[in-house]
């Protein structure tokens, strides 16, 4: 169940409550007794770190592996035929 944060608009007192998502928001402030609690929007505490399922299953392949394949193909020198000497002496009349 998520933890919701509240703040009283009357006295400014903070409050945290563990509630179901389907539960109605709290309204009554424990500090001043007024119905002035407002649910706050806060950051989540869910963080993906390390080499867990995300890094192994959904993360794209490293760019280094993709870049290695074209370099190997380009590394081979192009084959060329030796140049034939051109002379007028070889020409037949």
- 18-53, pLDDT tens digit by residue? 999 899 999 999 999 999 999 998 777 676 666 666
Six token digits for residue 6: 């509240």
Q: Is the pLDDT of residue 79 over 70?
A: no
Identify the CA nearest to 9 among candidates 42, 34, 30, 45: 34
Tokens of 82: 């030796």
Reported pTM = 0.47
Element (H, E) at 38: strand 37-39
How far is residue 31's CA from residue 15's CA, in Å, rounded to a whole number? 9
In the chain, where the domains are located: 3-39
């Amino acid at each position: 169940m998520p933890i919701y944060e509240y703040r009283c608009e009357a006295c400014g007192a903070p409050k945290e409550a563990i509630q179901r998502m389907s539960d109605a928001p709290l309204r009554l402030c424990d500090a001043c007794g007024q119905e002035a609690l407002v649910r706050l929007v806060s950051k989540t505490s869910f963080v993906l770190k390390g080499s867990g399922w995300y890094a192994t299953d959904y993360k794209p392949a490293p760019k280094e592996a993709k870049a290695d394949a074209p370099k190997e193909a380009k590394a081979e020198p192009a084959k060329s035929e030796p140049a034939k000497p051109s002379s007028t002496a070889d020409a037949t009349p």
